[in-house]
Amino acid sequence: MIDINILLDLFKSYEPDKDANLIERAYDYAKNAHESQLRKSEEPYLIHCIETAKTLLELKLDLNSICAGLLHDVVEDTKATHKDLVKEFNRDIANLVEGVTKLERFKFSDPDLYQAENWRKMLLSSAKDIRVILIKLADRLHNMRTINYLPLESRQRIAKETLNLYAPIADRLGMFTIKSDLEDISFQILDEEIYLAILKKLDENASQRDECLQTMESILRQKLDKYEGTLTFTHRPKHIYSIYQKMLRQNKTVEEIEDVMALRIIADTISSCYVILGEVHASFKPVPGSFTDYIAQPKINMYQSLHTTVYGPEDNIYEIQVRTDEMHKRCEYGIAAHWKYKMGTSPSHKDKELEAKLSWIAETLTWLKDLKNPGEFLDSLKTELRVHQIFIFTPRREVKALAEGATPIDFAYAIHTEVGNRAIGAKVNNKMVKLNFELKNGDTCEIVTRKNAKPNKDWLAFVKTARARSKIRRVLSGPRKG
Ligand code: MN
């Protein structure tokens, strides 16, 4: 079991001057609160809290997030309340824990991809603070790593949820390490046969692949002899799930997977990256069409790197990535690295922090403006900007996104025009409400309809969505002529 000192050491490694006493207090609090609880693995529950906090420490998050990571299940699973946490710690920590607890209550039930997208949006916008999502991802990662203790049926449900909901969110936030871990564990549960076949194939060629990579590395090191900065080479393992997706895209069987050598070079500066790339291309013939410059044109989730594929010694194919250390960190830690970069290193004046946060949002927005289709990522940023949107469930657990202040009539028209036109009443969370009732995020709404019922012109006074308004007007203005 990890003890508290490991957590404290990790924190000191990036915040040497900050008082870490709060982490010790959060640890003791979680220990007492979960005292009698065991995980399904029969380990003390506290281990789960520690592992969650450890992931957050690896992401180098701020002190309050680490404490909230330790405390993330105390409101859900013990007698502790939001008020207790405000008193014992501070409002920020209490709010983070509350945010995670709220997410806990959304039970993802629909594996349908269209619904999955709505769920992802809902999760992101319900969180209010992006750190809530980071804590939730760390929580899920440990749950996945210990999932073997659950019965098969739960394993499959949770794996599906992780693959459709949490892994894409980690991807959107640029957190590739967490994303790949979540994907590989889920994939093994959902399709163990193919998972093991791919794994076996990778193992068979492992030593030969290592040798080839060593050869390539020493050739490139020689060519880059004059280079003065530090160069780090890594032979990066391919993730099983990404190999599987490539198989699907190229319509290939496990036997047909080509053994690809994957090499990554980390350099000091951006210009060095291009120098290295030039040297690679001068020495080995590139595979046509394989070069992509994600440094000049970053991906939507801020990913940056140079990608190329070349025919190396003995005609083996090598996938090579070149990037700077900072790009590499951002790639592993995603949005969290950016956060740290903006928030943590500046002097700890409150103004400075706020300024940094605002400039981060502004920067991201300018960068979004240049994109052709920023819709999805913009939606996730609404969290920061507090552009209000609420998510309402149908009794069958589908989700509809509506403007804040929306009423059952707006909801009815969001489901179907005919449902709106025939609406005569509504139940929210199983209680009858008036048609002008103001829905709240997470409500379940059921519309009562009657055949031959018609919209009422009074509805126009309270509906909030343009869709409902125009549909009502259309019926009120009578059948169209001609
Ligand atoms: Mn948990």
Mean pLDDT value across residues 133-137: 90
Q: How high is the pLDDT of residue 366?
A: 40
Say which residues have a Cβ less than 8 Å from residue 260's Cβ, sequence separation at least 6: 238, 317, 318, 319
| Strands 317-324 and 399-403, sheet pairing | unpaired
390 alpha carbon – ligand 1 mean position (Å): 25
311 alpha carbon – ligand 1 mean position (Å): 47
3-state secondary structure 288-328: CCCCEECCCCCCCCCCCCEEEEEECHHHCEEEEEEEEHHHH
Q: Which pairs from 3-10 meet CB under 8 Å and 24+ separation? A: 6/54, 7/50, 7/53, 7/54, 7/57, 7/66, 10/54, 10/57, 10/58
CA distances from 354 to 93, 196, 226, 351 (A): 18, 49, 44, 5
444 alpha carbon – ligand 1 mean position (Å): 25
CA distance 55 to 134: 9
Task: Name the pLDDT band for 297 (thresholds 50, 70, 90).
Answer: confident
Q: How high is the pLDDT of residue 171?
A: 78
Q: Among all chains, which residue has been given the structure tokens 């420490």?
A: 57
CA-nearest of 73, 87, 80, 66 to 23 is: 66
Q: What is the dihedral of CA 284, 288, 290, 293, to 10 degrees?
A: 90
CA distance 357 to 376: 21
29 alpha carbon – ligand 1 mean position (Å): 15
Q: Quote the mean pLDDT of the chain.
A: 82
Q: What is the pTM of this model?
A: 0.68
Q: How high is the pLDDT of residue 478?
A: 77
Q: What is the pLDDT of residues 299-340, one digit of tens each?
A: 766 678 999 999 998 888 899 999 998 888 777 666 665 544
325 alpha carbon – ligand 1 mean position (Å): 32
72 alpha carbon – ligand 1 mean position (Å): 6
Percent of the chain with pLDDT over 70: 81
Q: How high is the pLDDT of residue 52?
A: 96
179 alpha carbon – ligand 1 mean position (Å): 18
Q: How high is the pLDDT of residue 341?
A: 36
CA distance 182 to 137: 9
Q: How high is the pLDDT of residue 114?
A: 58
pLDDT at 369 over 70: no
Q: What is the pLDDT of residues 44-102, one digit of tens each?
A: 999 999 999 999 998 888 899 999 999 999 998 899 999 999 999 999 999 999 989 98
241 alpha carbon – ligand 1 mean position (Å): 25
CA distances from 180 to 153, 233, 346, 431 (A): 23, 20, 31, 43
Task: Name the pLDDT band for 127 (thresholds 50, 70, 90).
Answer: low
pLDDT at 265 over 60: yes
330 alpha carbon – ligand 1 mean position (Å): 25
N-to-C CA span, the chain: 78
Contact 423, 447 (CB under 8 A): yes
Say which residues have a Cβ less than 8 Å from residue 6's Cβ, sequence separation at least 6: 54
Task: Name the pLDDT band for 108 (thresholds 50, 70, 90).
Answer: low
Percent of the chain with pLDDT over 90: 44
Amino acid in the structure at residue 79:
K
Q: How high is the pLDDT of residue 389?
A: 65
Mean pLDDT value across residues 212-235: 88
Q: Can you read off the two tokens belonging to residue 351? A: 């103004």
> 341-350: string of b/e by CB count within 10 Å (b at 16+)?
bbbbeeeeee
Q: What is the dihedral of CA 191, 195, 196, 202, to 10 degrees?
A: 170
pLDDT at 381 over 80: no
Window from 187-201, 226-240, 356-370 with minimum mean pLDDT = 356-370
Task: DSSP for 53-113, please give it.
Answer: HHHHHHTT--HHHHHHHHHTTHHHHSS--HHHHHHHS-HHHHHHHHHHHHHHH-------H
CA distance 416 to 409: 11
Q: How high is the pLDDT of residue 460?
A: 93
Helix, strand, coil percentages in the chain from 3-state DSSP, rounded to 5: 60, 10, 30
139 alpha carbon – ligand 1 mean position (Å): 5
The residues facing 318 across adjacent strands are: 261, 310
The radius of gyration computed from the CA coordinates of the chain, to the nearest angstrom, equals 26
Task: Name the pLDDT band for 375 (thresholds 50, 70, 90).
Answer: very low
Residues annotated as part of the active site: 76-77
pLDDT at 361 over 60: no
Q: What is the pLDDT of residues 413-427, one digit of tens each?
A: 999 999 999 999 999
Amino acid in the structure at residue 323:
R
69 alpha carbon – ligand 1 mean position (Å): 9
CA distance 449 to 221: 73
CA distance 210 to 263: 11
